[in-house]
Structure 1
Amino acid sequence: MTANAKTKLRKQEWDTVMGNGTMLPTWAQGLSGRIAVVTGASRGLGSAIALCLAEAGAKVHAVARSGADLQEMADQHTNILPMVGDVTDPRFIEDLGKMEIDILVNNAGMNRPLLIEDVDLETLDRMLGLNVRAAYLVAQAAAKSMLAHRRGGSIINITSQMGHVGSPRRTVYCMTKHALEGLTKAMAVELAPKGIRVNSVAPTFIETAMTKPMLDDPAFMGFVKNMIPMGKIGQPEDVAAAVLFLASPASGMVTGTSLLVDGGWTAQ
């Protein structure tokens, strides 16, 4: 192959012809025509992520247990498709596996900060059940869909900076997020030959309704800001932008990695 032919091939790989005849580089392509599923989508990070993917052109199945919250989102964007369901319900997992999926954002999760001596079995089981077991089954169902339709795909697990470090009162949470980081790497290696990329996004403390009670405590807010070299709390849009990158063709050579959106917390 001549050098000129190689250049043309590279241009074909990086460009796409749009309806108006213009050429867009890979990093500028959106998600038009893609089908996405976002779990835990009714509020906070999940809501911001779902809306971001919808704005980029994807048809987004927004999953949550509250139909009213989902309808509010659907009213904001025509690409949002409410999908009422519980990720811990085997019937939901079965239905998910029958869908056509190009992008999964595995976002549903929970935390209950406690000292290790105060962690009760109910808390332990609930967090393991949602953060690990359900997350695994959702990722597995999406992978089966992607393999069946042979279009490749992108699976993005929402983990945490606590999947890379430890922190007081978060033994269970850290354990579950470290587990999800391990799953991300193993799935990435196994599914890469099939054209399916698997990555994680690991945020620091993000300003949402769930974190507000903690961040309203001046002492805790001071601790958090002191740990973040950028000196500020993250916003849901910061996480959504990272997810969009990993969902899009712009990250076509990225798999098995964790994109830390932590303002430098884990760099210290």
Structure 2
Amino acid sequence: MEIAFHGKRALVTGASQGIGREIVKQLVKCGAKVVAVSRNKNLLESLKAEVPSVEIIVVDLSNWAETEKALKNVGPVDLLVNNAGLAILEPIGQIPQESVDRIFDINVKAVINVTQIVAKGLIARKAPGAIVNISSQASKVGLQDHAAYCASKGAVDAFTRVAALELGPHNIRVNTVNPTVILTDMGKLGWSDAAKAGPMLEKIPLKRFGEVHEVVDAILYLLSDKASLVNGVSLLTDGGYVAVSSKMNISFVGKQALVTGAASGIGKEITQRLVQCNAKVIAVDINPELLNSLKREIPTVTPLALDLSKWENVNNLNLLELGHVDLLVNCAGVCFEEKITEITERNVDRQFDVNTKLIINLTRKVASDLISRNVPGSIVNISSQASMAGIVLQSVYCATKGAVDAFTRAAALELGPYGIRVNSVNPTIIMTEMGRRAWSDPVKSAPMLAKIPLGRFGKVEEVADAVIYLLSDRASLINGACLPVDGGFLAN
């Protein structure tokens, strides 16, 4: 797809380095005359030395009046890229007014101001034009310590849509490009630490950060006539980050979750999803080797190797030391298949200790802390279709899960007045590694599959999606529910 801007004049802000500098160079290669705007005189002059045809304007775009003065006689502009931007990372509760003002002056007000200046000129000349505002994936999902920055980019997206609406009748298109982390020199410096980069890369399906040219290519497309019917669009250049991280637009920024049975299977998937949704996670499991493996995969988790089926181990948990828990997923579980005539006391005790008593005790512990802090919370217990339907050789397991559902309803009744919601998810057979081993034999699986209207077993991500939903504010009026994730098994 060949793009040319011969006879066009472009203005690029934040043009002296990084993405902006590359935009300037590529626009010139495509035949455009370019006005490069930045507050850094030295870097602009080095750009001028590299690309002699470029016109440079030195101005601090955060100063509205000075910007108007500097661009008053800029001449005809056909293409505008509002690239200048600023990020200051601070947690909510520690954000000073100066940071908010500085971020919004550059990221929002400068975009509005420069867009107005260029749009007025285009309308006066009755000339078509294209404007691209550089936004961010941060406009679509919450990012830890980015509250003011996220708000500013959300404002950019909203302004872009309105500008597209108002300027469209004048044949002026306005769009945004919303990148993930981009490996500029500054990006490489900021994200070279594997411990920091790992959790972010885990959220990107393509498993890599973006290159400068990939953002520039998207901008050139939107500026060109190849995008002649594209207007008011936010074009994500994020490797799929938002598609994963904002499922149902759920974010747990500022929340900490505790997940039991977290090192494998459903628990591991839930842990990964919680991290993708910006929660801090305490991952509890009885298997230290699997926990170490989980920690290597997701460096941000706090691993805790502990057998919580022992009542005293729950009592000894120091939630102040671990960090307070806002979200609890009771996922640990065991199942022993035995004929009713051959049930042993040992297996009864073990299944009730893990499947039921652990849930009761840990819910008590976390709920007490939530109530003492006077904060809302959400608890999801992993139950089973076995709580509502008899399954051969699983009589004790069925009993433990029936107890879980009954406890869930009682806990929802008692804890609801404190703003603590308690629900259960009741899956069918799920294709974890253990599930695949147990149900790979068609002779065994066929009768069970025949009872499931959808004709298949479940995937771990399907259970995790239900859990994440119930934990989130999207389920704010759901309390005491037992949600079957069973393909219709219980309806049959």
Q: TM-score range by the shorter chain?
A: 0.7 to 0.9
Instruction: Please state if 1:258 is matched with 2:219.
Output: no
Q: 1:172 aligns with which of 148, 172, 178?
A: 148
Query: How many residue pairs align between the two structures?
Result: 242
Task: Name 2:198's counterpart in structure 1.
Answer: 222
SS of corresponding position for 2:213 = helix
Task: Name 1:111's counterpart in structure 2.
Answer: 87
SS of corresponding position for 2:130 = strand
Deviations 1:204-261 (A, max 9, x none): 0001233334302221110121111111111111111111001111111111001111
> What are the equivalent positions in structure 2 for 1:228-243 lying under 5 Å apart?
228-243=204-219
Matched letter for residue 109 of structure 1:
G
Within 2, Cα distance between the matches of 1:67 and 1:121? 28
Within 1, Cα distance between the matches of 2:237 and 2:118? 24
Instruction: Please state if 1:150 is matched with 2:126.
Output: yes
Within 1, Cα distance between the matches of 2:144 and 2:40? 32
Give the TM-score normalised by the residue count of structure 1: 0.86
SS of corresponding position for 2:197 = helix
Within 2, Cα distance between the matches of 1:145 and 1:170? 35
Within 2, Cα distance between the matches of 1:167 and 1:180? 17
- Runs of 4+ off more than 6 Å: none
Instruction: Please state if 1:70 is matched with 2:70.
Output: no
Matched letter for residue 91 of structure 1:
E
Q: 1:125 aligns with which of 97, 101, 105?
A: 101
SS of corresponding position for 1:28 = coil
Shift of 1:164: 1.2
Gaps of 5+ in 2: 245-492
> What are the equivalent positions in structure 2 for 1:1-268 lying under 5 Å apart?
27-89=1-63, 90-98=65-73, 99-268=75-244
Matched letter for residue 83 of structure 2:
N
Within 2, Cα distance between the matches of 1:56 and 1:127? 32
**Is the contact between residue 64 and residue 70 of structure 1 (CA under 8 Å) also seen in structure 2?**
yes
Matched letter for residue 264 of structure 1:
G
Within 1, Cα distance between the matches of 2:3 and 2:210? 26
Within 2, Cα distance between the matches of 1:167 and 1:119? 15
**Is the contact between residue 57 and residue 79 of structure 1 (CA under 8 Å) also seen in structure 2?**
no
Within 1, Cα distance between the matches of 2:7 and 2:42? 26
Matched letter for residue 67 of structure 2:
F
Task: Name 1:10's counterpart in structure 2.
Answer: none
Moved more, 55-64 or 27-36: 27-36
SS of corresponding position for 2:185 = coil
SS of corresponding position for 1:154 = strand
C-alpha RMSD of matched pairs (Å): 1.4
Shift of 1:67: 2.2
**Is the contact between residue 122 and residue 128 of structure 2 (CA under 8 Å) also seen in structure 1?**
yes
**Is the contact between residue 97 and residue 142 of structure 1 (CA under 8 Å) also seen in structure 2?**
no
Shift of 1:75: 2.4
Shift of 1:143: 0.9
Within 1, Cα distance between the matches of 2:97 and 2:132? 29
Within 2, Cα distance between the matches of 1:97 and 1:245? 28
Gaps of 5+ in 1: 1-26
Within 2, Cα distance between the matches of 1:193 and 1:185? 14
Structure with the bigger RCO (C-alpha within 8 Å, sep 6+) is 1
Within 2, Cα distance between the matches of 1:256 and 1:79? 31
Matched letter for residue 96 of structure 2:
D
**Is the contact between residue 3 and residue 221 of structure 2 (CA under 8 Å) also seen in structure 1?**
no
SS of corresponding position for 2:93 = helix
Matched letter for residue 92 of structure 1:
T
Within 2, Cα distance between the matches of 1:100 and 1:88? 23
Matched letter for residue 81 of structure 1:
E
Deviations 1:59-89 (A, max 9, x none): 1101111222112222222432222122123
**Is the contact between residue 61 and residue 110 of structure 2 (CA under 8 Å) also seen in structure 1?**
yes
Task: Name 2:359's counterpart in structure 1.
Answer: none
- Percent identity of paired positions between Structure 1 and Structure 2: 37
